[in-house]
Amino acid sequence: MRPPADPAADRLLTAPVFVMSPVRSGSTLLRAMLNAHSALHAPHELHVRRLTVGFGTALAEKAMAELGHNRADLEHLLWDRVLHRELVRSGKRYIVDKTPANAFAYKRIAACWPDARFVFLLRHPASIAASWFEAGAGSRTPEEAAADALRYMKAVQRARTALPGPTVRYEDLTADPEKETRAICAFLDLPWEPAMLAYGRPDVVVKGLGDWKDKIRSGSVQPGRDLPQAEEVPEILRPMCETWGYLPGTAASA
């Protein structure tokens, strides 16, 4: 895993944007709002980091090595080409990918696109766990949902610590969407556009590729659920609540 040897020749994308967030944190809402901007194409979750290549034969591996490519290099070329094709088809300037699992591969994404920009989206950990449990349709217990969602939260926190970029809170996004989207646009060096507040029905609402509930389908920002009381926070989530400043008397991590 390494940066491109020649970015000008090896990468077609310019300054892609990655929303790093846990599951059930409002990333589909944010991507719909960003996609409403005339310069941003924010499609459904893309999962490009799961795309792999194989050499097939030792001779193919040797031939690629002579060209200076290892397997990771070739996969990065593939990822870049897939995202670039999608961006060109959209007719916009920048692509946005909000796949939650990207947080587990933040180092590789940053290496693949040295000019990538990152936006971090947080939500109250107990609200994330509750929503993840509800989305599981009986496939996991509340305790299992909390433990699984915590994996994503920890990955996002590691990425926040390592990478530059602004942090947005879901609660702030739903309470004052204009203020939060203006801040994101300023970070991306783009003018703010009112259409971001009335984003319309997302063009892809498919289970497994983001949130498909009625709040998202409504086409405009809806109020978030009430925050849980401190005594309602599962013990396993309390450290993350403290790190993110969601418990009384705690300060949010920079």
251 part of a folded domain: no
183 part of a folded domain: yes
User: What would the pLDDT profile of 198-250 be if each residue is shown by its tens digit?
Assistant: 887 655 455 555 555 555 555 557 666 778 888 889 999 999 999 999 987 55
1 part of a folded domain: no
Would you say residue 68 has pLDDT above 90?
Answer: yes
- Residues paired with 18 in a beta bridge: 97, 118
CB-based contacts of 214-223 (< 8 A; 24+ apart in sequence): 215/29, 216/28, 216/29, 216/32, 221/29, 221/33, 221/173, 221/174, 221/177, 221/197, 222/174, 223/174, 223/175
Range of the domain at 225: 17-244
Q: Are 107 and 1 in contact, with CB atoms under 8 Å apart?
A: yes
11 part of a folded domain: no
Helix (H, G, I), strand (E, B) or coil at 117: strand
Which of the two residues, 190 and 137, has the higher pLDDT score? Answer: 190
Helix (H, G, I), strand (E, B) or coil at 239: helix
206 part of a folded domain: yes
Per-residue pLDDT at 215 = 57
64 part of a folded domain: yes
- Report phi then psi at 251, rounded to 5: -110, 140
Per-residue pLDDT at 230 = 86
Residue 224, both tokens: 């978030």
61 part of a folded domain: yes
253 part of a folded domain: no
Question: Can you give the CATH number for the domain in which 122 is found?
Answer: 3.40.50.300
User: What would the pLDDT profile of 79-116 be if each residue is shown by its tens digit?
Assistant: 999 999 999 999 999 999 999 999 999 999 999 999 99
User: What would the pLDDT profile of 11-51 be if each residue is shown by its tens digit?
Assistant: 999 999 999 999 999 999 999 999 999 999 999 999 999 99
Neighbours of 251 (CB within 10 A): 9
Closest of 25, 7, 26, 24 to residue 16, by C-alpha: 7
Total domains in the fold of the chain:
1
